[in-house]
Amino acid sequence: MRVRQPAVVSSGRPEVSRAPSGPSRARSAPTRRSGLPSPGQTAVAAALRQVGRPYVWGGGSSAGPTGGGFDCSGLALHAWSRAGAALTHYTGSQFRQGRRVPFSQLRPGDLVFFGGGTGDPTHVGVYVKNGVMVHAPKTGDIVRTTDFAASTYYRSRYRGAVRPTPRTAAS
Protein backbone atom coordinates (compact mmCIF):
# COMPACT_ATOMS: atom_id res chain seq x y z
CA MET A 1 0.00 0.00 0.00
CA ARG A 2 1.37 3.40 -0.95
CA VAL A 3 1.34 6.14 1.68
CA ARG A 4 0.38 9.53 0.38
CA GLN A 5 2.54 12.42 1.54
CA PRO A 6 0.65 15.45 2.88
CA ALA A 7 0.50 18.44 0.59
CA VAL A 8 2.20 21.61 1.79
CA VAL A 9 0.00 24.70 1.72
CA SER A 10 1.16 28.31 1.47
CA SER A 11 1.57 28.59 5.25
CA GLY A 12 4.41 26.10 5.01
CA ARG A 13 2.55 23.59 7.19
CA PRO A 14 1.28 20.27 5.85
CA GLU A 15 -2.41 20.16 4.95
CA VAL A 16 -4.16 17.59 7.10
CA SER A 17 -6.67 15.38 5.39
CA ARG A 18 -9.48 14.33 7.73
CA ALA A 19 -11.78 11.39 7.41
CA PRO A 20 -15.45 12.31 7.45
CA SER A 21 -16.75 12.65 11.00
CA GLY A 22 -19.76 10.80 12.32
CA PRO A 23 -20.59 7.11 12.50
CA SER A 24 -18.50 4.74 10.45
CA ARG A 25 -19.93 3.44 7.24
CA ALA A 26 -22.13 0.40 7.62
CA ARG A 27 -20.50 -2.69 6.26
CA SER A 28 -22.25 -4.34 3.39
CA ALA A 29 -23.01 -8.02 3.38
CA PRO A 30 -20.20 -10.16 2.03
CA THR A 31 -20.43 -10.81 -1.67
CA ARG A 32 -19.98 -14.23 -3.19
CA ARG A 33 -16.72 -14.73 -5.00
CA SER A 34 -18.45 -16.40 -7.93
CA GLY A 35 -20.48 -13.26 -8.64
CA LEU A 36 -23.65 -15.35 -8.55
CA PRO A 37 -26.47 -14.43 -6.19
CA SER A 38 -26.59 -16.26 -2.85
CA PRO A 39 -29.48 -18.68 -2.26
CA GLY A 40 -31.05 -16.05 0.00
CA GLN A 41 -30.81 -13.38 -2.70
CA THR A 42 -32.42 -15.81 -5.15
CA ALA A 43 -35.27 -16.42 -2.68
CA VAL A 44 -35.77 -12.67 -2.18
CA ALA A 45 -35.89 -12.04 -5.93
CA ALA A 46 -38.49 -14.82 -6.36
CA ALA A 47 -40.63 -13.43 -3.51
CA LEU A 48 -40.41 -9.84 -4.78
CA ARG A 49 -41.64 -10.97 -8.23
CA GLN A 50 -44.92 -11.91 -6.51
CA VAL A 51 -45.61 -8.45 -5.04
CA GLY A 52 -49.17 -7.44 -5.94
CA ARG A 53 -50.54 -11.00 -6.17
CA PRO A 54 -53.57 -11.63 -3.96
CA TYR A 55 -53.46 -13.43 -0.63
CA VAL A 56 -55.07 -16.86 -1.07
CA TRP A 57 -55.38 -19.11 1.99
CA GLY A 58 -53.44 -22.31 1.22
CA GLY A 59 -52.07 -20.70 -1.95
CA GLY A 60 -48.62 -21.23 -3.36
CA SER A 61 -46.40 -24.11 -4.33
CA SER A 62 -42.86 -24.60 -5.57
CA ALA A 63 -44.21 -23.93 -9.08
CA GLY A 64 -45.85 -20.60 -8.17
CA PRO A 65 -49.23 -19.26 -7.14
CA THR A 66 -52.18 -21.60 -6.71
CA GLY A 67 -55.73 -20.39 -6.81
CA GLY A 68 -54.30 -17.13 -8.15
CA GLY A 69 -52.10 -16.24 -5.19
CA PHE A 70 -50.16 -17.10 -2.05
CA ASP A 71 -50.55 -17.36 1.67
CA CYS A 72 -47.53 -16.51 3.83
CA SER A 73 -46.02 -19.99 4.05
CA GLY A 74 -46.78 -20.69 0.38
CA LEU A 75 -44.82 -17.58 -0.59
CA ALA A 76 -41.86 -18.68 1.57
CA LEU A 77 -42.04 -22.21 0.13
CA HIS A 78 -42.11 -20.87 -3.45
CA ALA A 79 -39.29 -18.35 -2.91
CA TRP A 80 -36.96 -20.91 -1.35
CA SER A 81 -37.80 -23.56 -3.96
CA ARG A 82 -36.22 -21.17 -6.51
CA ALA A 83 -33.08 -21.20 -4.33
CA GLY A 84 -32.98 -25.00 -4.11
CA ALA A 85 -34.53 -25.62 -0.68
CA ALA A 86 -37.56 -27.76 0.02
CA LEU A 87 -39.91 -26.33 2.66
CA THR A 88 -43.25 -27.59 3.89
CA HIS A 89 -46.39 -25.50 3.42
CA TYR A 90 -46.95 -24.73 7.10
CA THR A 91 -45.49 -21.80 9.05
CA GLY A 92 -45.02 -23.85 12.22
CA SER A 93 -42.87 -26.48 10.51
CA GLN A 94 -40.97 -23.87 8.45
CA PHE A 95 -39.89 -22.42 11.82
CA ARG A 96 -37.99 -25.67 12.37
CA GLN A 97 -36.56 -26.02 8.83
CA GLY A 98 -33.19 -24.34 8.91
CA ARG A 99 -30.68 -22.74 11.21
CA ARG A 100 -31.90 -20.16 13.76
CA VAL A 101 -30.50 -16.69 13.12
CA PRO A 102 -30.33 -13.79 15.61
CA PHE A 103 -32.02 -10.57 14.50
CA SER A 104 -28.63 -8.82 14.36
CA GLN A 105 -27.39 -11.33 11.77
CA LEU A 106 -30.35 -11.37 9.37
CA ARG A 107 -29.44 -11.74 5.71
CA PRO A 108 -31.58 -11.49 2.58
CA GLY A 109 -33.78 -14.56 2.25
CA ASP A 110 -33.95 -15.47 5.93
CA LEU A 111 -37.45 -16.37 7.04
CA VAL A 112 -38.83 -14.12 9.78
CA PHE A 113 -41.63 -15.40 12.01
CA PHE A 114 -44.37 -13.72 14.03
CA GLY A 115 -47.20 -14.48 16.45
CA GLY A 116 -48.48 -17.64 18.01
CA GLY A 117 -47.63 -16.87 21.64
CA THR A 118 -45.81 -19.95 22.92
CA GLY A 119 -47.17 -22.23 20.19
CA ASP A 120 -46.12 -22.32 16.57
CA PRO A 121 -45.69 -18.94 14.87
CA THR A 122 -48.68 -17.91 12.80
CA HIS A 123 -47.00 -15.75 10.15
CA VAL A 124 -43.82 -15.84 8.07
CA GLY A 125 -42.13 -13.36 5.74
CA VAL A 126 -38.99 -13.40 3.59
CA TYR A 127 -36.39 -10.92 4.84
CA VAL A 128 -35.26 -8.44 2.16
CA LYS A 129 -32.92 -6.02 4.00
CA ASN A 130 -32.92 -3.08 6.44
CA GLY A 131 -35.81 -4.47 8.50
CA VAL A 132 -38.04 -5.05 5.47
CA MET A 133 -39.78 -8.33 4.59
CA VAL A 134 -41.94 -9.43 1.68
CA HIS A 135 -45.00 -11.40 2.79
CA ALA A 136 -48.61 -12.33 2.11
CA PRO A 137 -50.36 -10.66 5.09
CA LYS A 138 -53.99 -11.79 5.23
CA THR A 139 -57.24 -12.46 3.38
CA GLY A 140 -58.26 -9.47 1.29
CA ASP A 141 -54.68 -8.21 1.01
CA ILE A 142 -51.86 -8.69 -1.50
CA VAL A 143 -48.24 -9.81 -1.36
CA ARG A 144 -46.34 -6.73 -0.24
CA THR A 145 -43.21 -5.45 1.45
CA THR A 146 -43.41 -4.23 5.06
CA ASP A 147 -40.83 -2.58 7.29
CA PHE A 148 -41.44 -4.97 10.18
CA ALA A 149 -38.54 -3.63 12.24
CA ALA A 150 -40.22 -0.21 12.37
CA SER A 151 -43.72 -1.61 12.97
CA THR A 152 -44.95 -1.80 16.55
CA TYR A 153 -47.41 -4.49 15.44
CA TYR A 154 -44.79 -6.82 13.95
CA ARG A 155 -42.00 -6.02 16.42
CA SER A 156 -44.20 -7.01 19.35
CA ARG A 157 -45.05 -10.33 17.65
CA TYR A 158 -41.56 -11.20 16.35
CA ARG A 159 -40.64 -14.81 17.21
CA GLY A 160 -37.33 -15.34 15.45
CA ALA A 161 -35.69 -16.14 12.13
CA VAL A 162 -34.49 -19.20 10.26
CA ARG A 163 -32.04 -19.54 7.38
CA PRO A 164 -33.16 -22.45 5.16
CA THR A 165 -30.51 -24.72 3.67
CA PRO A 166 -30.65 -25.45 -0.06
CA ARG A 167 -30.18 -29.02 -1.21
CA THR A 168 -26.73 -29.66 -2.58
CA ALA A 169 -25.71 -31.75 -5.54
CA ALA A 170 -24.51 -34.42 -3.07
CA SER A 171 -27.87 -34.74 -1.34
End-to-end CA distance of the chain: 45
CB atoms within 10 A of CB 39: 20
Residues that are catalytic: 72, 123, 135
Question: Which residues have a Cβ under 8 Å from the Cβ of 33 and sit 6 or more positions away?
Answer: none
